[in-house]
Structure 1
Amino acid sequence: MFLFLIQDKDNKSSVSDLLKSEVDKALQSENGHLDLYLRFLLGLSLESSQTILRDLMTQTGRSSDSKQEIVEYIKMKIRENLSPEKSINLFHCLNELNDHSLVQEVQSYVNRGDESSLSGVSLSPAQWSALVFVLLNSEEKLDEFNLRSYDRSDECLLRLLPVIKASRKADLFNCSIGSEGCVALTSALRSNPSHLTELNLNYNNPGDSGVKQLSDLLKDPQCKLQKLHLSLCSIGSEGCVALTSALRSNPSHLTELNLNGNNPGDSGVKQLSDLLKDPQCKLQKLL
């Protein structure tokens, strides 16, 4: 592997070309199995690492030029609006190269510490990715995530899904989340469902279609949701039937369910009433 970093005397850009190629390969990987390899390779490309490995390689050209070239290439890839997971890996790569410029662009907002610091702020895709990276690597434990601290929209929800997945409690109260946002949320939680124990979706508009997606999540035996708040969420009888069916198939975790302000109809009410009679049902609070 060390030989990858040896520059050709007749081609000073060979190292940069090689590293760019490895960045592209890592981005094409569906399961991320090249992520750590890429970070390690970029760390070895630094002049400080090459000094330590002086006896193992021949170095020509200016490594500082190669470093800056690959830094700019990685930033260009981040600006292409990649998936959050791929962007996070590229920020780890920038860390390996000791470049923190994109992170510093959003760090000042995060450091303010008040809930309105990022509300209404227009961020570029690269800045959104930087924000996710900062939040995930914060020294503060991600016990509770409040979407209103950033922006009340489906777009913001989609951008910050990795942070929600890493939190214990997600407060998405009155954040204009529709069925599309609910589908994306449940899909993300299904890929790593063990963290979140409380989800507040009160005063949103997932409707029956979004609630059916949530119901599929509740059926997952790995789902650990204990409290689910769905007050005033445009839920009808179909959504209520889907919820009760899910809780019958996996009744061991949910202890609190809030359905105030919805329209379950007679069939939905009957389904909920029958659920409460089930001795396996662990619901302690149904509103």
Structure 2
Amino acid sequence: MKIRFWGVRGSIPAPGPETNRYGGNTSCVSITTADDRLVIVDMGTGLMHLGNALMAREFGKGNGRAAILLSHTHWDHIQGLGFFPPVFIGGNQFTVWGPGGSPKVLEDILEGQMDPNFSPLQTLKNLAATFDVRAATCGTPFEAEGLTVTAREHPHGATRALSFRIEEAGRTFVYASDVGYPESGPPDEAIAHYRGADVLLHDSTYRPEHQATRRNRGFSSYEDACAAAIAAKVKTLVTFHYDQDYTDDDVDGIVDACRTILSPHGIDLVPAREGDELQI
């Protein structure tokens, strides 16, 4: 699996000179399989830049196919859909797996953001590509473009979100953005979901002093992310979903603190940056 980061911020895009090094787009990650198939995780504003890159491939000719894993439907994870060039090319096909309990619930949410009051696109029906929307059943593995995916539901503020355990040829990548834990730390069920992963991408929104007053929002601090990585005995932790107010220097501080925590446990730390790739 080849992992590429197209958007690594949380909540709202944060463009500007103080976020250039890590990037200001919201959550979007692509996974390229061993046989060059494509899985996209979340559709934040980084999806636009992924789409521009895909237009030079089969997607620009209407011959593209990809799976999309959607953790949840907050704005910062779906706003890129209407700005994703491949959806305007007939013949492209997308299978969307996400929360909601039923395909209709999920499709209605995606349709809602296209309402004329919010978008000039007006409706999903105005997109030329085809969409097969499916509800992920937690705990039951499913196949997405050759990858084996197992979803787990976890609290995210007043709602729920999905994390994904993604496997190919004995390698495991876990995507766990927008994860909120109780003050006691990651529960056993979450640790079991992450256990032994080659790479755990984990929500690292806050520094601990900010987490203390914002725990009800459903995000993690970098200390939560490190605790999960250590308990699950993963090989590499990827920090992700940085708070929109944090500068690059602030994120540097998070990265340095994580390395200090993880080093005694032999766990590598890779900070997610727009444009960076990670081979598993």
TM-score with structure 1 setting the length: 0.31
Between Structure 1 and Structure 2, the one with more helix by share is 1
Q: Between Structure 1 and Structure 2, which shows a larger proportion of strand residues? A: 2
Higher relative contact order (CA 8 A, sep 6+): 2
What's the TM-score, normalizing by structure 2?
0.31
**Greater Rg by CA:** 1
